[in-house]
Structure 1
Amino acid sequence: MNTEYDKPFKTYDEMLSLMEKRNIIINDKEFAKNALSNLSYYSLINGYKNTFLQVKGTDDFIEGTKFEELYTINQLDVSLNNIIFKYILYLERSLKSKVSYIVSQSFGVYTDKNDISCTDSNDYLYYKNYSSSTGKRIDIVKKLKNCIIENHHNNIIEHYINTKNHIPPWILTYNIPFGLTIEWYSILKNAEKSYVCSAFISSETLSMDERKEFLRQALLLAREYRNKIAHGNRTFNISGLPVLPKNQLLELSHYAVSSEEYNNGLAQCDLLSILLLLVILLNDKYLCANLLSDLTSLFAPYEQHLFNNKNIYEIFNLPNDVLMRVKNLIDNIYNMPLEEALSQSNT
């Protein structure tokens, strides 16, 4: 069989030759080979080609594109992913805490792991405890119940099965994915959902329905970023995501973006939108201050550096004043200068 494949195997030397044909300057070939062995050609070259291509849809990079700079951008992208992932995890924990609290308060702390039908009215996963408006409540409560059954070898779940007479909601949330927690929140009835939403978002001008819609979209957007980052997607190359509602975003972000900027696509579902929603929803001035500190530490050393005539913020599709926008939002939400928040977070 003599099939000619579109993407045949290439040695590292052949990859270097291909890069040079595509206008990529390689100053240290041994360094480049080592980088390719650790990160792959696709991660380093194809992953960033849309940023530096001469013409979209071609394979030729802009003259002057250096391999070492592509490598640096990759490292910055990984570091930025790690920062965002860390603070989305804080958001995830916050949602789990709030959902488990209101479920425990409203429906108790008992669930029968053997009641797969979820028809026991004494069970906090009793299906009638939840809203039928989405048509998914039975499927979701059964998925939650299955998490207990399928995770019975999990140390925490197993400990509760063997030594306790119930598995409370705050233990169950330890062992379910972010996405399933969002689904659990989505089937809460109006009173319970309002509690969770109010715990995340305080506003004198937005209605409860408007706040719920923002929280719903923000959680879905955060989940998508979390999942894509976990699977190695590049931070500034994620598309097809839930969009934050305009009026709520502008109001809750204290107009960190203008109406015109939003209409032009800024902060709808991009990297800036993730940074803003984290500051809005984390409800912790120290976490927010540390988020900004992490971002500053990442970007500041490269603010004067141009990557083939593009600054670091252009590379990541961020406004040049993104750090100031985030700082001002923190100041506006907590009525505390960033310097004071950082000082308190480090004591």
Structure 2
Amino acid sequence: MENNIIFDKPFKTYDELISIMEERHIDIPNKEFAIQVLQNYSYYGIINGYKNTFLQVPNSDSFIPGTNFNELYTLHLVDTALNNIIFKYILFLEKALKSRLSYLVAQKYGVYTDPSDFRCLQDNDYLYKKNYSTSGGKRTNVLRSLKERISRDTKNPIMQHYLNDKNHVPPWILTTSIPYGLTIEWYNILKSDDKQAICDSFITPGLFSNEQSKEFVRKAFELTKEYRNKIAHGNRTFSMISLPQLPKAQTLALTFNIISEEEYNNRMGQNDTFAVLLALIVMLSDKYLISNFQTELYNTLSPYSSILFNKQSILDIFNFPNNLFERLDNLIAQKFN
């Protein structure tokens, strides 16, 4: 039965893939180089990944005549480099949350937890259920997940060292064993005052109501988590969809209105790559770190500032404003003024 099926996407040799590209109006200046690129990154990763910038008709396979294979390859390289930079600074935000969270928990609730108490009933345990809020309905599952990370993480040498050679596993050691998503869930079940203390360590207290402050911080965590997950699964920087949205009032105020209300309403800085950049700059408090972030972004994008890809600049393609770096300069200057 299977032998009679005509597959939609049958295997193609590299030479056949080259022919398909030429039939679709893609110029191949150097076929040996093109084959080498396809070996390293695949046809899907290079052609399907970036074709929307060069199509004659959206959602077709017909490229604008004169589209150059090297342009598609260049976009892939820039996109990968940008992904790597953003990924790295999301990791810094994750570390900042873990550091603040573990400090607060240890300070208020101690450094002891019983890995076998999955019901979290011991009142001397920092994962004791009454230390946390029931408002979101997730307390039981989150606390159990944290306990399971302690008792079942056999691949983390730090955790194993504390389990085998120490008499307790403090919260700052637990954070070495949990992913960003579970860390955010731990933060989300904190009691209101504890959560506010974390928020106040990320953004200046008093700018908004407590609920508005918590809303922005929660959305910034959710946005960066989802963006990182999509990067990790090979999504392209400029085609991210279904991401959490930063709240308008807080975003405009915390970025000193470097985006206008009209731009925000037109989806700039809501839940796109630009929003991720803004969230990271707002949430990271280390001026040296943010300066490095800005420099890395500039060094990645500026070499292509005079190049057009089907009449679009590199900033257009990534849905950044054309004066991106002027805006980031203003934001950083006012943040640390």
TM-score with structure 1 length normalisation?
0.95
After superposition, what is the alpha-carbon deviation per residue over 1:82-110, rounded to whole angstroms, capped at 9, x for unaligned? 10001000000000001101111111100
Structure 1: give runs of 5+ residues left out of the alignment. Answer: 336-347
Q: Which amino acid aligns with 1:248?
A: Q
* 1:228 counterpart SS class: helix
Question: 1:195 — aligned with what?
Answer: 197
1:1-347 to 2 correspondences below 5 Å = 1-335=3-337
1:340 maps to what in 2? none
In the alignment, is the contact (CA less than 8 A) between 1:197 and 1:211 conserved in 2?
Answer: yes
Contact 1:275 1:326 (C-alpha < 8 Å) held by counterparts: no
Q: Deviations over 1:158-194 (max 9, x none)?
A: 1101111100000000110000000000000011101
Q: Aligned-pair distance for 1:58?
A: 1.0
Structure 1 letter corresponding to 2:79: D
Task: Check the 8 A contact 1:109/1:166 in 2, yes or no.
Answer: yes
Change (3 A) 1:180 1:18: same
Name the SS for the 2:4 alignment partner.
coil
Cα distance in 1 for partners of 2:56, 2:113 equals 60
**2:215 & 2:89 partners in 1: Cα distance?**
21
Q: Residue type matched to 1:221 in 2?
A: L
Further displaced range: 51-60 or 184-193: 51-60
Q: Aligned residue pairs: how many?
A: 335
Query: Which residue of structure 2 lines up, in the alignment, with residue 342 of structure 1?
Result: none
| 1:54 CA displacement | 1.2
Runs of 4+ in 1 over 2 A off after TM superposition: none
Across the aligned residues of Structure 1 and Structure 2, the Cα RMSD in angstroms comes to: 0.9
CA distance in structure 2 between the aligned counterparts of 1:152 and 1:210, rounded to whole angstroms:
40
CA distance in 1, matches of 2:194, 2:107: 10
Runs of 5+ unmatched residues, structure 2? none
Q: Deviations over 1:1-34 (max 9, x none)?
A: 3100111111111111111111111110000001
Q: Equivalents in 1 of 2:66, 2:108: separation in Å?
A: 63
Equivalent-residue separation in structure 1 for 2:108 and 2:206 (angstroms)? 26
Q: Deviation at 1:203?
A: 4.6
How far apart are 1:153 and its partner, in Å? 4.1
Q: Cα deviations across residues 61-100 of structure 1 (Å, max 9, x unaligned)?
A: 1222110011011001000001000100000000000110
Q: Tell me, in whole angstroms, the C-alpha distance in 1 between the residues paired with 2:212 and 2:146.
A: 28
Deviates further, 144-153 or 31-40: 144-153
* Matches of 1:251 and 1:62, distance apart in 2: 42
The answer to whether the 8 A contact 2:51-2:72 is kept is no
148-157 vs 258-267, which deviates more? 148-157
Letter in 1 for 2:284: L
TM-score by length of 2: 0.98
Answer yes or no: is the 8 Å Cα contact 2:53–2:309 preserved in 1. no
